[in-house]
Amino acid sequence: MKSINNANILCNNCNIKTKKQILIKNNFQLRTWKCLNCHEQWIHPLDEEAYLKYKNMKNKDYEVKLRMVGNSYTVSIPKEIINLQENIFEEMNTLIKMSLESPEKLSLFFSRKL
């Protein structure tokens, strides 16, 4: 099956071939097509769906459990957050970066980019 990303798309206003571009929005890479004549822009439907899902999750507060396991504490991360990370967690024992930003703020980084 062919992907929409490999298609040539014509602007419906100018009837001119659009240019493929990457739009970065809140650290999200969105594949787009832009008309260089009228500057109309279209976002790849799958990228737009993932971005909207991210925005909805970002505005949501999660209550998670803190548990004692041996000499360490564990926090359960909701599955929908892990699923948003796509293929980062191919194995369950994946190491992630964690830092203490302030006495009340702990950050987890799921990728090597900071």
pLDDT, tens digit (0-9, with 9 covering 90-100), for 5-63: 777 889 888 889 999 999 998 888 899 999 999 999 999 998 999 889 888 888 888 88
Note down the domain range covering 72: 66-109
What is the structure's pLDDT at 38? 92
Residue 114 lies in a domain: no
Residue where a domain terminates, one of 20, 35, 58? 58
Total count of domains within the chain: 2
Give the contacts of 111 (CB within 8 A, at least 6 positions apart).
85, 88
Q: What CATH number has the domain bearing residue 50?
A: 2.20.25
Residue type, 88: I
Q: Tell me: do 45 and 72 sit in the same domain.
A: no
- Threshold 0.85, pTM exceeds: no
CA angle in degrees (0–180, nearest 5) for 34-37-42:
20
